[in-house]
Structure 1
Amino acid sequence: MTDSTVTINEITKSYGTTTIIAPTSVTVEEGEFVCLLGPSGCGKSTILSMVAGLSFPSTGSVSAGDEVITGPGADRGMVFQNHALLPWMTARGNIEFGLKSARPEYSSSERRTIATQWLEKVNLSHAAERRPARLSGGMQQRVGLARAFAIDPSILLLDEPFGALDALTRRQLQLQLLQVWEASRRTVVMVTHDVEEAILLADRVLVMAPSPDSTVIADIRIDIPRPRMEDEQGEHAGRKAELRQQLLDLLQH
């Protein structure tokens, strides 16, 4: 696997005379799970899009390993809040299509094998031949996760992937994401506006100020050992409460 360090070097983003993102520098180390947390419109998704190679900074640069990002690449997999599945393809077909696009060197039988393996990992073997219209919102997002992991990216980018789901489905998918991530230790950058989600998932939380002139105003390490359950009376409940209040204070001020 190639070096999966993400380096954001003095980037800005402007539209006309309005600076959405002021000079911002961040490094996400190889194998880290980092959440970008901030209010709506602060530029979180814009930064993620830059790492994906779907948009570009007005000044500065974004790199994956030693390479400046100039467009999308198979080293980066993206999961959107809207699952972005092709409606005319089955769950398996969507994963195979992603593989065909990102890994053209794979044969059709290899693509089918990999798609089958990832459907098993996200507990969707029974729904392999269903089209998205016959899948629940949570199942559609699991297909999206499987598609992103299947291309074997060194960097996984998640843009509020669970934001549109009910609380129970969201928690189930958060835990499933952690299980898959802990087995492979990809570098993950995830956008969220949910403090609880950031504390549950991340090694570090980067808090952004509101736009215009948004930037990262705090880099908070989540020093609670995994697994981090909801038990408010557990051994680390006090530290979790401190982190929650610290993040909320930063968001409010």
Structure 2
Amino acid sequence: MTALEFSEVRFRYAADSPLLLDGLSFRVEAGEFVSILGPSGAGKSSLFRLMNGLLAPESGKILVGGASVSAKQSRCGYMPQQDLLFPWRTVAENVGLPLELGRQSHSAAERKERVAEVLSAVGLGDWAEKSPLALSGGMRQRAAFARTLLTGAELLLLDEPFSALDYMTRLSMREWLLERWQQERRTILFVTHDVEEAVFLSERILVIAERPVRCLREFRVPLSYPRSVESLGEPRALELKRELIALLSREMAV
């Protein structure tokens, strides 16, 4: 089953601005973990905004779960770079926002139960009544991920969610995210400019290597799951990293 499909999509921010996407087509299958890799300013976050319906294409089709993103039944769970937790709400109240704002009605008891379940699943069960200010950076990102899960969406869009974390916390969060993905098996589309991160996490990597974007270069990651930091030292992983870095270096030099 196809989770996401771009078909001949053209997009620019204004009528007098240059094209960002020029007939872009690609697909993501249900249950995949796919990273979109590219240099800063390449248009990675714009792709997510198009998938969410926050931006509209000039032409072409964008389908989520077989339905147009403009249709009410099309939904993505979106996790931006910043966790965007409200400091005046508890962790539980922050995580439960999708249930409060969603189209389906839930009783207070139902919301409390579902929030408790997802907080326990991400290892934050004891922090439900704390302020987000009491959480470390990695814990805040786990809370943001829990909130994304409660959207009920099968397609999760994660936009450089670990970019603001220190190196060691990023390493632990990558391993944590893979564990969650293997348990949940939702489709994850992960935007990053970090080659190592993309290789470690993904089944496939789609690279933005031209402007305007007419196609995405596809690379299969030759590593099995589960993965650890040591996986990145395997010869096939090192070769893929070298190939991706060379490709991105050529694009940035243009």
For structure 1, the residue ranges without an aligned partner over 5 or more in a row are none
How much has 1:216 moved relative to structure 2?
Answer: 3.5
- Determine the structure 2 residue equivalent to 1:242: 239
Quick one: structure 1 residues 81 and 251, their matched pair in 2 at CA, closer, same or farther if it must change by over 3 Å?
same
Query: What is the correspondence of 1:160-171 to structure 2 with a 5 Å cutoff?
Result: 160-171=160-171
Aligned to 1:150: 150
Q: Output the amino acid matched with 1:227.
A: P
What percentage of residue pairs aligned between the two structures are identical?
36
Per the TM alignment, residue 153 of structure 1 is displaced from its structure 2 partner at its CA by: 1.4
| TM-score, scaled to structure 1 | 0.91
Aligned partner letter, 2:248 = L
Following superposition, the deviation at residue 137 of structure 1 comes to 1.8
Task: Name the CA distance, whole Å, in 2 between partners of 1:157 and 1:73.
Answer: 17
1:127-184 Cα offsets, whole Å, 9 max, x none, are 2112222222222111100001123211111000000100111111111111111112
Asked if the contact 1:52/1:76 (under 8 Å) is kept, the reply is: yes
Partner of 1:5: 3
Cα displacement (A) at 1:232: 6.3
Aligned-partner SS, 2:22 = strand
Conservation of the 8 A alpha-carbon contact between 1:13 and 1:59: yes
Q: What does residue 33 of structure 2 align with?
A: 33
Q: State the one-letter code of the partner of 2:223.
A: I
| Count of aligned residue pairs for this structure pair | 248
- The alpha-carbon deviation at position 233 of structure 1 amounts to 8.9
Report the residue type matching 1:11 in the other structure.
V
Instruction: Give the direction of change, closer, same or farther, for the CA distance of 1:79–1:103 in structure 2 (3 Å limit).
Output: same
Name the SS for the 2:96 alignment partner: helix
Q: How far apart, in 2, do the equivalents of 1:4 and 1:94 lie?
A: 31
SS for the counterpart of 2:83 is coil
Query: How far, CA to CA, are the matches of 1:98 and 1:21 in structure 2?
Result: 31
Structure 1 CA distance for aligned equivalents of residues 201 and 21 of structure 2: 25
2:50 aligned residue: 50
Poorly superposed stretches of 4+, deviation over 4 Å:
71-74
* Higher alpha-carbon deviation: 53-62 or 23-32: 53-62
Matches within 5 A, 1:1-253: 5-14=3-12, 15=14, 16-70=16-70, 75-102=75-102, 104-209=104-209, 211=211, 213-231=212-230, 237-253=234-250
Q: Deviations over 1:207-232 (max 9, x none)?
A: 00254x13434101112101222226
Q: Give the counterpart letter for 2:235 in structure 1.
A: G
Q: TM-score, normalised by structure 2?
A: 0.91
Q: In the alignment, residue 180 of structure 1 is paired with which amino acid?
A: R
Write the distance in 2 (CA, Å) between the matches of 1:85 and 1:233. Answer: 32
CA distance in 2, matches of 1:116, 1:10: 42
Instruction: Summarize the Cα distance change of 1:49–1:226 in structure 2 as closer, same or farther, 3 Å threshold.
Output: same
Distance in 1 separating the partners of 2:186 and 2:2: 8
Structure 2: where are the runs of 5+ without partners? Answer: none
Question: Which stretch of structure 1 is more off in the superposition, 65-74 or 5-14?
Answer: 65-74
RMSD (CA atoms): 1.9
Task: Quickly say closer, same or farther: Cα 1:74–1:89, change in 2 above 3 A.
Answer: farther
Deviations 1:195-218 (A, max 9, x none): 11111111110000254x134341
CA apart distance, 1:25 = 0.6
**More displaced 10-residue stretch of structure 1: 116-125 or 63-72:** 63-72
Q: Deviations over 1:33-78 (max 9, x none)?
A: 1100001111111001111222122221210122110177673111
Q: Map Cα deviations across residues 63-113 of structure 1 (whole Å, 9 max, x no partner).
A: 012211017767311111111222211110011122221253222111111
Separation of aligned partners in 2, 1:72 and 1:179: 31
Letter in 2 for 1:13: F
